[in-house]
Structure 1
Amino acid sequence: MGNICTSELSEEGQEEYDDTELATTSHGGNARCNCGLYEVEELNKYIEIQSIGLHFKDETIGAGTFGKKHRRKMFAVLELGGPNLYDYYVNQEIYDSEDKSEIVENIARAAAIALNELHQRAVIHLDIKAENFVIALREDQRNLKVNPFSFKLIDFNTSVLVTDHVKANTASITKVIKAPEIRKNKKNYVNQKVDVWAFGIMIYGLLYNKLYAFKELNNVNAMNDKSRYNRLDSELNYYRSNHADTNLDNIINWCIQEDPDQRPSMYDIFNYL
């Protein structure tokens, strides 16, 4: 069984589309996402599937007074998964494990594979965090695949397709994972380096037991954004100057460079790990 997610992306992120066949609908950022469960054979009614992954379809709608309108649809065909990474990290008490560094490195490698695959398909996720990585199930759909880890990315509500000048509504993105270049305005020009920054923040949180603290920092309503980011940036600046010389620390430091041009691609990270 598969899970099909169709995101309709437009310049303003406000395109409307009715699809009563799909089970649930969610909105967010520059995408509208319809999700439902189908047998793989049923999916062929909506899209020709070559493999599990992302697919695109161009269509023309309307032919009235205002002429034809073109729209590109993105289909994300996903496998069913288990718990998300945040819950798994907490429930398995990885934060207190003697093998934490090794486990987190394996997690980073699996997450890099998933995100690199997305980037290779010219998509910017825009909300990379532990809650949006689901641990894949084994083929019998009962047991978790954790040796080695295999992750599936979820929640494409804010995702956009890469173009030369793509502008996204970043207001709804989790605040503590926002790269410096997209913090000030509700709409920003974005590229895949914002995902790289968020990936670095996630791995830092896993390695140094900061996931819960970051979640709390994000949820403090009384704190204005300037204070929130001052607190976060102060911690990251100290880390950049004092980080250990390990594979994970080098990756983290590489990802959280303030200048996006100094950050690696996910392909670089994947090869390094």
Structure 2
Amino acid sequence: ISPVHEIVLLGLFQSQGLSLALATLLLLSYTAVLLGNLSIILTIRAESHLASSPMYYLLGNLSLVDLFYTSVTTPQMALGLLSGHSTIPLGECLAQLFFLHFWGCIEIFLLTVMAYDRYVAICQPLHYAAIMGRRTCTRLVAGSWLGALVHSLIQTLLAATLPYCGSNNIDHYFCDVAPLLGVACTDTSLVEILVVSNTGAISLGCFLVLLVSYGVILAALRHRTTEGRNKALSTCTAHLMVVAIFFGPCIFIYTRPFSTIPADKVVSLLATVVTPVLNPLIYTMRNTEMKSAMRRLWGRWVKAEK
């Protein structure tokens, strides 16, 4: 049996007309992700009171991660549909797997850190400035990057050490651990257990921490005034919506034994394409302060152009 040097992504095989429509949709989605997240980053950097706020510092980092996360798969999928070229060298496939898990894991950790930020702001408001100082925020973000790096290295090394031979077809849109292991010509049971233990534990563990954090927050809000409760719920609701649409697909894909089902491809598209598009909309549409800052920035830009 000959060794595999290229992977064929069967998920990209569609009729020519449908391929063009899907590629156009993907490129439009990618453009929306770029514009939305860049707007958030530029607005936070332009407004000093936002740049100095821990909440918006973390949001700016989340937007930056979203840009890279969706860039790992969406452009490649769109180009594959337009060109009809759906093969990818095994080395590039492993690199895509690494960066997919790297940026995705950073996002998981950042969303958890943002929940902690909201917990401190609501449950310990008098100590918020001392607890969530810039140094602490920087360390939490750096810790998220380091943890994600360790996670993705483990995932990639587990996949890279396997022999691949025979059929090189995977029924997916991009390279991920589960579909790639289907090409391995050896028993992958142990690797599957290690991968599920690693990724599944991170996804489910962080999700449970988030649930506990917001349970404590909701309990604390019962004693607030209506105005204070509504203001706190506004920022928490936006974060919870992002958590739900991001963690849902991750938990569905990575916390069960590797068995490919048709829903996997739909859920993967939801995680890598739809969620990054929705994140900027959720954080701006439900945040009065962010919308006002964006309007001021737009006004200054228009005046400068004149």
Same fold (TM over 0.5): no
Q: Give the TM-score range, shorter chain.
A: under 0.3
Scaled by the length of structure 1, the TM-score of the pair is 0.27
When the two structures are superposed, what TM-score results if normalisation uses the length of structure 2?
Answer: 0.25
RCO greater where, 1 or 2, for CA within 8 Å and sep 6 or more?
Answer: 2
In our comparison, the structure showing a higher alpha carbon Rg is 2
